Structures are given as structure tokens and as C-alpha cells.
């Protein structure tokens, strides 16, 4: 079965540079989530999108922005990178409750392999 695709898998940037991470959800999934996992930490929710509109917002820094496009893929844009931004960035996708509720799997999230960002 098709899974969530993230690119690139690894990224190395210098301080103050910008980075763009991409996420391609599972086909027919309409909701995308972004998470940040620092070394030895649990994943932290950043932001989510449903049907191309921002749905919920977590602890996303102001230097970061994200959007979901007409084909449902999403991009996380990160500017003025700091050393502390070095982390594993996960994208997840799900089928919104209204469509998935009938099979009792509303908002079950499936995660991509992650992008490992290193800021030097």
C-alpha cells in the first residue's frame, strides 16, 4: 500500500539559511500534519491542514510557514535556520472524520519516514 512520502530524507543547512521540506500524503487522504522531533524527544505537533486550509496550529515558530496545495501535497518552509532547528521532521496524513467515521478510523494518522535536518 502507498505510504506518506517525504523529501528530502536528509538535509544539511547553515545557520540563517532557508529550507523547504515536502510531504506527499497517502492517496485520498485530505489532512496533513507536521511534527518536529528533537534528539531524544517525543514528536511535537507543529501545524495541520485540511482541504488546503490551515486546520490546527501547534508550537510552530514564526520563522516557519506551511501550506497545502491543490494536489494535497504540503510544504514546510523554514527560514533563518538556527542550530536548535536540527531535528527529525515528520509529516503525517489522515482521512478527515466526516469521511472516515463510517469505518471508525477518523483521523488515524500515518507517518512518513521523516526528513532529518541538520543545521551547522
Partner 1 sequence: GIQVEQSPPDLILQEGANSTLRCNFSDSVNNLQWFHQNPWGQLINLFYIPSGTKQNGRLSATTVATERYSLLYISSSQTTDSGVYFCAVEFSANTGNQFYFGTGTSLTVIP
Q: How far is the CB of 15 from partner 1 (least distance, A)?
A: 24
Tell me if 56 contacts partner 1 by CB under 8 A: yes
Are residues 111 and 5 in contact, defined by beta-carbon separation less than 8 angstroms? Answer: no
If one asks whether residue 43 binds partner 1 (CB under 8 A), the answer comes out as yes
Q: Under the criterion CB under 8 A, does residue 17 sit at the interface with partner 1?
A: no
Choices 12-20, 36-44, 66-74, 75-83; region in contact with partner 1 by CB under 8 A = 36-44
48 or 68: whose CB is closer to partner 1?
A: 48
DSSP 51-115: TTEEEEE-S--TTEEEEE-TTS-EEEEE-S--GGG-EEEEEEEE--HHHHGGGT-TT--EE---E
The three cell numbers of residue 58 are: 501547534
The site for partner 1 (CB under 8 A) is made up of 33, 35, 42-45, 48, 55-58, 88, 90, 105-111, 113-114, 116
Amino acid at each position: 500500500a502507498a505510504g506518506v512520502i517525504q523529501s528530502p530524507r536528509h538535509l544539511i543547512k547553515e545557520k540563517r539559511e532557508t529550507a523547504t521540506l515536502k510531504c506527499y500524503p497517502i492517496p485520498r487522504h485530505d489532512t496533513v500534519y507536521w511534527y518536529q522531533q528533537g534528539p531524544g524527544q517525543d514528536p511535537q505537533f507543529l501545524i495541520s491542514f485540511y482541504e488546503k486550509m490551515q486546520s490546527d496550529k501547534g508550537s510552530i515558530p514564526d520563522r516557519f510557514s506551511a501550506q497545502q496545495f491543490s494536489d494535497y501535497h504540503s510544504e514546510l518552509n523554514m527560514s533563518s535556520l538556527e542550530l536548535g532547528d536540527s531535528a527529525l521532521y515528520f509529516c503525517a496524513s489522515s482521512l478527515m472524520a466526516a469521511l472516515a467515521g463510517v469505518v471508525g478510523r477518523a483521523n488515524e494518522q500515518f507517518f512518513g519516514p521523516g526528513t532529518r535536518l541538520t543545521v551547522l
